[in-house]
Amino acid sequence: MNPSFLTPRLSEILEQAKEHGRVLVDDLAEHFSVTPQTIRRDLNELCDRRLLTRIHGGALLPSGIENMEYEARRKIALDEKRAIGQAAARLIPDRASLFVNIGTTTEAVSDALLDHEGLMVITNNINVANRMRVYPSLEVIIAGGVVRGSDGGVVGEAAVDFIRQFKVDYAVIGVSSIDPDGALYDFDFREVKVAQAIIANARHVILVSDSTKFERGAPVRIGHLSQVDTFITDRCPLPAMRTLCEDAGVRLIETGAQ
């Protein structure tokens, strides 16, 4: 159905989702002074029209085969990403070498690393490079290749070849989707190739992902959770995922940010 036929409340819910990337039942109920049951019916209607995708406690913009706008993704789970970034930064000592790939959560890690000394940071993320380059205690090296206009990611075979020249202490990677079986996915096959090269050329791989990634889908497989050494998330709601981490020797860190 055409969005123009929505009621005023449904239209405002959709606009909030476009602005923030997701909407939550409790917040909407308070905002509109209606019951949570009413909001759930509204969200179900928007999902039936394929304008939103239901998640536990709310709804997201539908992912389909296209990623949502980068600025909207930045606003999703902002506090959770900040806590994840701080937890990752605590694992990385001064004077280490590391890769940082594309993603709003990996950008949160880069923010938390700004007080470190003597880091060599290799990245295919223009946003990370631009943020860290002004700190004289940090050496920033950026991959060459095609710059993706939507998010400042450097992708393509040139970026892959560049990454393969290094063997670093740590890799900080983000993903677009995590399946219950532990498979890791992204939207752009060119970015996937870069991520695979990063995983293969780091001694310790840190996966950073907020829990909304358990609720999304993406089409291109990067690899599997068992290929990482540490997985940092705000919460892991899937018991099978905990078991998978334990069996594969993956350290699971839950920051518990709300």
Confirm if 156 and 102 have CB atoms less than 8 A apart: no
* The predicted structure's pLDDT at residue 91: 98
* The predicted structure's pLDDT at residue 147: 87
Q: Which domains does the chain have, with CATH numbers?
A: 3-62 (1.10.10.10), 72-254 (3.40.50.1360)
Tell me the whole-structure pTM to 2 decimals: 0.74
Is 176 strand, coil or helix? coil
Q: How far apart are CA 179 and CA 156, in angstroms?
A: 25
Query: Residue 46, Cα to own-chain centre: how many angstroms?
Result: 25
Query: Would you call 107 exposed, middle or buried from its count of C-beta atoms within 10 A (0-12, 13-18, 19+)?
Result: buried
Q: How confident is the model at residue 173 (pLDDT cuts 50, 70, 90)?
A: very high
Q: Give me the torsion for CA of 120, 69, 161, 213, rounded to 10°.
A: 80
Asked whether residue 185 carries a pLDDT value surpassing 80, the answer given is: yes
**pLDDT > 90 fraction of the chain, expressed in percent and rounded:** 62
More confident residue, 165 or 18: 165
* The predicted structure's pLDDT at residue 50: 77
Mean pLDDT for all residues in the chain? 88
Q: How far apart are CA 138 and CA 133, in angstroms?
A: 7
Confirm if 99 and 140 have CB atoms less than 8 A apart: no
Helical pair 8-20 and 36-48, crossing angle rounded to 10 deg: 80
Helical residues (DSSP H) of the chain, grouped into ranges: 8-20, 25-32, 36-48, 70-75, 78-91, 104-112, 126-132, 157-163, 189-200, 239-248
In tens, the pLDDT along 186-228 reads: 988 888 999 999 999 999 999 999 988 887 778 899 999 999 9
Q: How far apart are CA 155 and CA 160, in angstroms?
A: 8
In tens, the pLDDT along 2-39 reads: 455 788 899 899 888 877 777 899 999 999 999 999 99
* The predicted structure's pLDDT at residue 128: 93
